[in-house]
């Protein structure tokens, strides 16, 4: 066995682990990084990157068959499903060098391509290495949750970890799970020519504002996706090319392929956390507000910490760890300013509190301000008028924003900035947005907040009248 002593040991080379390793080594720390599977983790190889590439293929096909509203003849696209997967693989390959072993070794990180296993509270084994570190960061991410549905173990199925390797185009894709992953892939496959049925045990997009989710779901149904809610899968049977899903209420859905997209589970099985004195919860590793585990020398970040499961959250956590582990400064996680987006068409984005959450917390002190895409000139020109922006305001300060519509994932950035810095609606109203842009929606939403206060106020009218009488 080779023994290594290091300042910082990072277990897992996903987005959070790579950010910690890169930041720490460039600040002078001795850093060791462990990865037993693929550099870049879920996001690069099985999640954000390949799924968005797949969505892009679907959009290209959809544009060809729905161009007549722009004065261009509709054509039936000739979809080559395998070639679309080649596009996905090429996108991953272009980004992969940024996350590679070679790049991180070039930065000065000691990279060991083995899984890490705790031997004690201070020691981790990786292959033939035993590593002792001043501080340890667990960033092993999450994997697809596959529930024990009777019959599933005898039927072929896909998850996000296998879907992008599938070369045969599904004739009819059954998707169990109506969350972001399930619906993004459902729409992409529908646009590439597949029949698609989504089977959701509760409500589709159930974690989002219902008013906003309805905008997306209506469009998905309009594109020909069969979306069944309150349909809890009870039994799965069949064989490759002929799969049946029976729900608890007796409904039966038939398809050629099955995608399981019901959620995520933390990747902790290989770590031997008990040996390190690290406690877990139902959702992941137990951490405090500073991302420390019950072993004070060990941190857990990203999906494995059991909170919000987004790549950008892992990156945010990495910044906290740099502050705490390297500089010994206090670092405390906050989540009120964390945005997220679902990349369906139209997109769905959220930051801060939803309307229901704000009403529960603030009661009558909260105000919901709405502005519809149909009143935005650029959205009209682009024929993208479905959707709205809703900003939740308490005493002039936004505490949440929900957006359903064209480029919602881009539009939410401004509100994330505003909420992160505790800015007011007046700051947004003071912004000048170029015309015509979809980004004007944010300014117009702020205007919708102030309009009744200015144009429907008797007090304002009396003041204006008084000033006008006395102006020279």
Mean pLDDT of 350-356: 98
pLDDT at 454 exceeding the cut of 80: no
Mean pLDDT of 136-156: 97
Mean pLDDT of 228-246: 97
pLDDT at 1 exceeding the cut of 80: yes
pLDDT at 177 exceeding the cut of 70: yes
Mean pLDDT of 168-172: 98
At 325-335, the pLDDT tens digits run 888 888 999 99
Give residue 470's pLDDT: 77
pLDDT at 185 exceeding the cut of 90: yes
- Min mean pLDDT across 96-110, 320-334, 418-432 is at 320-334
pLDDT at 52 exceeding the cut of 90: yes
pLDDT at 261 exceeding the cut of 70: yes
pLDDT at 471 exceeding the cut of 80: no
Mean pLDDT of 199-219: 97
CB of 14 closer than 8 Å to CB of 139: yes
CB of 125 closer than 8 Å to CB of 136: no
pLDDT at 112 exceeding the cut of 90: yes
pLDDT at 412 exceeding the cut of 80: yes
pLDDT more than 70, % of the chain: 97
At 56-92, the pLDDT tens digits run 999 999 999 999 999 999 999 999 999 999 999 999 9
Tell me what the pLDDT averaged over the chain comes to.
96
pLDDT at 34 exceeding the cut of 90: yes
Cis before residue 179, ω within 30 degrees of 0? no
Confidence of residue 461 (pLDDT cuts 50, 70, 90): low
pTM: 0.94
pLDDT at 460 exceeding the cut of 70: no
Give residue 463's pLDDT: 67
Confidence of residue 273 (pLDDT cuts 50, 70, 90): very high
pLDDT at 464 exceeding the cut of 90: no
Confidence of residue 202 (pLDDT cuts 50, 70, 90): very high
């Amino acid at each position: 066995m080779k023994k290594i002593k290091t300042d910082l040991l990072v277990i897992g080379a996903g987005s959070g682990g790579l950010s910690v390793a890169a930041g720490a080594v460039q600040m002078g720390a001795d850093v060791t990084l462990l990865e037993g599977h693929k550099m870049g983790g879920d996001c690069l190889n099985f999640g954000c990157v390949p799924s968005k590439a797949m969505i892009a293929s679907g959009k290209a096909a959809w544009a060809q068959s729905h161009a007549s509203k722009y004065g261009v003849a509709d054509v039936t696209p000739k979809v080559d499903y395998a070639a679309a997967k080649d596009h996905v693989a090429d996108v991953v390959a272009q980004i992969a060098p940024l996350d590679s072993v070679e790049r991180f070794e070039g930065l000065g990180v000691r990279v060991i391509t083995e899984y890490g296993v705790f031997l004690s509270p201070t020691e981790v084994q990786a292959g033939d290495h035993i590593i002792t570190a001043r501080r340890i960061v667990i960033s092993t991410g999450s994997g697809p949750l596959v529930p024990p549905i009777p019959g599933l173990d005898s039927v072929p199925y896909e998850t996000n970890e296998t879907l992008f390797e599938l070369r045969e185009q599904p004739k009819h894709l059954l998707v169990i799970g109506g969350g972001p992953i399930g619906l993004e892939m459902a729409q992409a496959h529908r646009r590439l020519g597949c029949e698609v049925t989504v089977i959701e045990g509760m409500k589709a997009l159930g974690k989002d504002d219902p008013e906003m989710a309805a905008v997306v779901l209506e469009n998905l149904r309009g594109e020909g996706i069969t979306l069944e809610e309150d349909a809890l899968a009870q039994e799965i049977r069949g064989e490759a090319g002929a799969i049946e899903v029976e729900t608890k209420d007796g409904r039966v859905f038939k398809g050629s392929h099955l995608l399981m997209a019901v959620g995520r589970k933390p990747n902790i099985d290989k770590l031997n956390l008990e040996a390190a004195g690290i406690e877990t919860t139902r959702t992941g590793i137990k951490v405090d507000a500073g991302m420390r585990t019950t072993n004070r020398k060990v941190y857990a970040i990203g999906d494995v910490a059991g909170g919000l499961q987004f790549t950008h959250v892992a990156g945010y956590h990495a910044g906290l760890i740099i502050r705490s582990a390297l500089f010994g400064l206090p670092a405390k996680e906050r989540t009120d300013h964390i945005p997220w987006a679902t990349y369906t068409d139209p997109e769905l984005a959220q930051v801060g509190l939803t309307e229901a959450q704000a009403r529960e917390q603030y009661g009558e002190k909260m105000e919901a301000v709405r502005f519809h895409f149909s009143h935005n000139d650029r959205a009209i020109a682009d024929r993208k008028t479905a959707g709205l922006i809703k900003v939740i305001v308490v005493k002039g300060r936004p505490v949440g924003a929900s957006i359903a519509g064209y480029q919602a994932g881009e539009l939410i950035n401004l509100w994330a900035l505003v909420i992160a810095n505790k800015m007011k609606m007046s700051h947004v109203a003071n912004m000048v947005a170029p015309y015509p842009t979809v980004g004007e929606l944010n300014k117009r939403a702020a205007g919708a907040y102030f309009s009744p206060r200015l144009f429907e106020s008797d007090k304002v009218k009396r003041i204006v009248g008084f000033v006008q009488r006395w102006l020279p």
